[in-house]
């Protein structure tokens, strides 16, 4: 099968969905989005925690809820979303060759947007010495097993790496009943957002060691222990500092690598970190081929990925119409507070800036907040902190699938474990729609509604 279309977008994560939607809205007649998975949404589908969409939608969504909005927007704009399509290559005349279960398809495009995301660095990429037992996972694989496939990865866990995925998995594993013995970070500061250090690690009393690495993996069939060692300023292991930690699972959260095999088939120039090299209009060195999201440069927030995708989609249409391009502001996605929260402060989580807010006795008011919402947040944290609980429940008749759910509104922080534990006993029958109430839980004479965050047949 061979078709012609104005714009082809490769990858159906937030970058690709936004690019396709804006290409259609900018006047492209036919926009086809090709996704290799059976569902669009990209990595968002396994990120069941909340915190997405604060900039784009001014609300906090879970990953699947954010994906649902992006998919609906693209569909309403008239994008043709084609799933189970693995893009194999692009030729110099912009013909995109795709593998499907029914054979090969070809799409001849006027312009193309690459939005193929990234993959995780593995043990092989960082060369940890030791044996090769079972029980060593990358954080994204562990997340997929726990959140989507109903497979618990282990009971006693060490996490190497304090980027956002590592921090989020520390909380998730703890809520699922594992003991997270340590998060080890080779740098002098955590590399994730301060709000994740606070809400995923400090709040669960998980030990966080900086300037520390895993210097040895020990175990025959299954992991039995790891050695943690201090590192010097050049990240070299300091001899004599090794201490053994008995554990059955090691989670690696040691960085992401842009995924660009498809880009390479048409000769797009890549940077040393494997990201695509683009100009400020997001165009690669191959005219008419644009790149956005994590395959261009790994980004912290889906909101910025969507915004960048939107611009790539617009410029793909400007290219077709021979109109001037619009520029991407590289600085805009770098405003969030990363690393350790400042001592004695509250990290405001109302927006991703993560202001460090504290009470000032002299001024008799909160300081450090860039807007009044930070003071209100800090006061609520002091008097009656609340959290939205996000977790999964079982689905009747399906052993290897789970339904992601959340409380319909935030509940007292003190009840988070109780709600998660009660939900471990719950089984839901399909079909359900995103937003359906699937369970009610009694907490101190108060009913808490549990809603599904996806639609499932």
Ligand X SMILES: Cc1cc2nc3c(=O)[nH]c(=O)nc-3n(C[C@H](O)[C@H](O)[C@H](O)COP(=O)(O)OP(=O)(O)OC[C@H]3O[C@@H](n4cnc5c(N)ncnc54)[C@H](O)[C@@H]3O)c2cc1C
- The contact set with ligand SF4 (CB under 6 A) reads 348, 350-351, 353-355, 369-371, 373-374
Reading the block at residue 302, the tokens are: 């889906």
Q: Is 307 an interacting residue with respect to ligand X (CB under 6 A)?
A: no
Cβ(294)–Cβ(95) under 8 Å? no
Is residue 143 within 8 Å of 46, Cβ to Cβ?
Answer: yes
Give the list of residues 6+ apart from residue 400 with CB closer than 8 angstroms, or none: 149, 150, 151
Instruction: Name which of ligand X, ligand SF4, none residue 34 binds, using a CB cut-off of 5 to 8 Å depending on partner kind.
Output: ligand X
- Residue 80 makes contact with ligand X by CB under 6 A: no
Q: Choose between 165 and 311: whose C-beta lies nearer to ligand X.
A: 165
Q: Least distance to ligand SF4 from the beta carbon of 373, Å?
A: 4
Residue nearest to ligand SF4 (CB): 374
State the binding partner of 354 from ligand SF4, ligand X, none, CB within 5 to 8 A by kind: ligand SF4
Q: Which of residues 405-434 bind ligand X (CB under 6 A)?
A: none
**Residue 301 interacts with which of ligand X, ligand SF4, none, CB < 5 to 8 Å by class:** ligand X
Closer by beta carbon to ligand X, 140 or else 404: 140
Between 32 and 47, name the residue whose CB sits nearer to ligand X: 47
Q: Closer to ligand SF4 at the Cβ: 26 or 347? A: 347
Strand partners, 243: 228
Q: How far apart are CB 16 and ligand X at their closest, in Å?
A: 5
Least distance from C-beta 51 to ligand X, angstroms?
A: 4
Whether the CA torsion 235, 240, 245, 250 is positive or negative: it is positive
Residue 73 interacts with ligand X (CB under 6 A): yes or no: no
In DSSP terms, which residues pair with 9 in a beta bridge?
A: 33, 113
If contact means CB under 5 to 8 A according to the sort of partner, which of ligand SF4, ligand X, none does residue 44 touch? ligand X
Please identify which residue in 176, 259, 264, 436 interacts with ligand X, judged by CB under 6 A: 259
Instruction: Select the binding partner of residue 374 from ligand X, ligand SF4, none (C-beta < 5 to 8 A, by kind).
Output: ligand SF4
Chosen residue from 7, 8, 10, 317 binding ligand X by CB under 6 A: 10
Least distance (Å) between residue 60 CB and ligand SF4? 12
CB 226 within 8 A of CB 247: yes
With binding defined as CB under 6 A, does residue 37 bind ligand X? yes
Q: Are 438 and 451 in contact (CB under 8 A)?
A: yes
User: Could you give the CA distance from residue 312 to residue 301 in angstroms, rounded to a whole number?
Assistant: 17
Single residue of 143, 162, 198, 349 touching ligand X by CB under 6 A:
143
Task: Report the residue number, 77 or 350, with the smaller CB distance to ligand SF4.
Answer: 350
**Residue among 9, 16, 183, 419 that touches ligand X (CB under 6 A):** 16
Report if residue 197 touches ligand X, rule: CB under 6 A.
no
Q: Return the bridge partners of 217, or none.
A: 130, 226
Binding to ligand X by residue 12, rule CB under 6 A?
yes
Terminal C-alpha separation, the chain = 30
Contacts of 376 (CB under 8 A, 6+ apart): none
Does 119 help bind ligand X (rule: CB under 6 A)? no
Which residues contribute to the site for ligand X (CB under 6 A)? 10-16, 34-37, 42-44, 47, 51-52, 85-87, 115-117, 140, 143, 164-165, 168, 259, 262, 293-294, 299, 301-303, 305
């Amino acid at each position: 099968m061979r078709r012609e279309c104005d714009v082809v977008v490769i990858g159906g994560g937030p970058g690709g969905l936004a690019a396709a939607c804006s290409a259609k809205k900018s006047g492209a007649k036919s926009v086809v989005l090709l996704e290799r998975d059976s569902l669009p949404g990209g990595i968002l589908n396994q990120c069941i925690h909340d915190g997405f969409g604060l900039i784009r939608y001014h609300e906090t969504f879970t990953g699947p809820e954010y994906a649902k909005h992006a998919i609906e927007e693209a569909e309403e704009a008239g994008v043709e979303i084609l799933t189970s399509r693995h893009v194999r290559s692009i030729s110099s005349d912009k013909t995109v060759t795709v593998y499907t279960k029914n054979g090969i398809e070809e799409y001849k495009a006027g312009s193309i947007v690459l939005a193929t995301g990234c993959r995780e660095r593995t043990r092989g990429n960082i060369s940890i010495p030791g044996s090769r037992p079972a029980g060593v996972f990358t954080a994204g694989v562990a997340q997929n097993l726990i959140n989507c496939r109903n497979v618990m990865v282990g009971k006693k866990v060490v996490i190497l790496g304090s980027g956002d995925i590592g921090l989020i998995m520390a909380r998730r594993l703890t809520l699922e009943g594992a003991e997270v013995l340590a998060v080890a970070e080779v740098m002098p500061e955590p590399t994730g957002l301060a709000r994740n250090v606070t809400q995923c690690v400090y709040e669960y009393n998980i030990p966080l060691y900086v300037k520390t690495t895993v210097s040895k993996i020990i175990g025959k069939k299954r992991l039995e222990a790891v050695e943690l060692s201090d590192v010097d300023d050049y990240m070299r292991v300091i001899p004599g500092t090794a201490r053994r930690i008995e554990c059955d699972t090691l989670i690696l959260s040691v960085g992401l690598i842009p995924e660009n095999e498809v880009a390479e088939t048409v000769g797009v120039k890549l940077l040393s970190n494997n990201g695509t090299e683009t100009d400020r209009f997001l165009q690669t060195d191959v005219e008419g081929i644009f790149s956005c999201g994590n395959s261009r440069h790994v980004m912290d927030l889906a909101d910025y990925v969507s915004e960048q995708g939107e611009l790539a989609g617009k410029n793909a249409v400007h290219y077709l119409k021979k109109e001037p391009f619009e520029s991407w502001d590289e600085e805009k996605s770098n405003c969030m507070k990363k690393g350790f929260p400042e001592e004695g402060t509250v990290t405001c989580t109302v927006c991703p800036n993560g202001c460090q807010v504290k009470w000032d006795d002299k001024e008799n008011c909160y300081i450090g907040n860039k807007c009044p919402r930070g003071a209100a947040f800090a006061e609520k944290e002091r008097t009656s902190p609340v959290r939205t609980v996000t977790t999964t429940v079982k689905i009747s008749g399906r052993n290897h699938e789970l339904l992601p759910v959340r409380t319909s509104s935030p509940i007292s922080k003190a009840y988070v474990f109780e709600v998660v534990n009660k939900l471990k006993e719950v089984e839901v029958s399909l079909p359900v729609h995103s937003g359906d109430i699937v369970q009610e839980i009694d907490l101190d004479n108060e009913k808490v509604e549990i809603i599904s965050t996806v639609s499932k047949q």
